Structure 1
Amino acid sequence: MNDALRFDTLAFLALYLLIVSATLFLRLLPLDLTGTGLPGPDLLLCLTMAWLLRRPVHLPAPVIGAVYLIEDLLTLRPPGLWALLVLAGTEFLRRRQLVVREINLALEWAMVSGVIVAMTLANRLVLAIVMVPQPPLDLSLLKLAFTLAAYPVVVLVLHFVLRVRKPATGEVDDLGRKL
């Protein structure tokens, strides 16, 4: 029984890492998929937060930190800053996972939006303090708005396509432990 539970967790972790790899690969390709010059949403951040709120056991903190550190290195951002902010934001949400289980999508979206806005502002503040060149504020705000708007779509894809759902109030796993 324990092996089946462990296999399920590892399978979902492998699926997450496969999606992350594909997303990073597509981001590194020299293609403008929007065609308008507008920044696209950060789908990887939306995916991480939505998945974490549904099944936090599938995404341990070291995996999230490593994924975003690799993303920092591949996208030539200051290494570790965004990874640290994402790790702090996801751990904040992980601690509130039991609360999120009871609320609807609109309240969850508001809570996640607050965390993403705080992470973005902290990132811009730290980069301004150390005087690192940043993208213009209007483009950053536009990317933030697109990311916040994409979150419900990512949640729906997780729910209906990948079958990653919130545990029900009394749901237990195969070993009888409460989820």
Structure 2
Amino acid sequence: MGCDVSSRAMHIEVIEAMSANSFINALRRFFAVRGPAKQIRSDCGSNFVSASRELEMDNTSPSFNNVEKYPSTESCTWVFNPPHGSHMGGAWERMIGIACHILDCMLLEHKKSHLTHKVMITPMAEVAAVMNARPLILVSSDPELPLILTPAMLLTLKTGSTPPPPRPKL
């Protein structure tokens, strides 16, 4: 899950394993869809630490001579929270909690045995859409100003949203 700390926009990728390779592929998809990032912030999860070493983006390797040059060509840096410092990820840790709550509500009636990787892609995209539709500023009570600024508006440069199609049973 990615959170743009300036716009509070969310991007969620479903990965098959908690490995460095799975994360690197998700990061490449993120950059392909959203554009390059200037900074990546994360906890010290082993998949993140391994990925930063594999991409040669860790603090011990100032040169970027890896085959995977995509992050480094855009001067992308990686900042890790201190170990056991999840409280230091304030904004994105809160967004993770909100995403879990939305997902819990969506999957309340479904058994976990039916939740495969392919099945989870759609609900997670819907969770990101719900989170990106939340207002960023106070909603005006003035009927002449019905526009509500949301992260989705900043991502798509479009006002309003189309309702989602009816959801089939998982």
Higher strand proportion (structure 1 or 2): 2
Q: Same fold (TM over 0.5)?
A: no
Higher helix proportion (structure 1 or 2): 1
Q: What TM-score results when the alignment is normalised by the length of structure 1?
A: 0.27
The one of the two structures with greater contact order (alpha-carbon pairs below 8 A, sep at least 6) is: 1
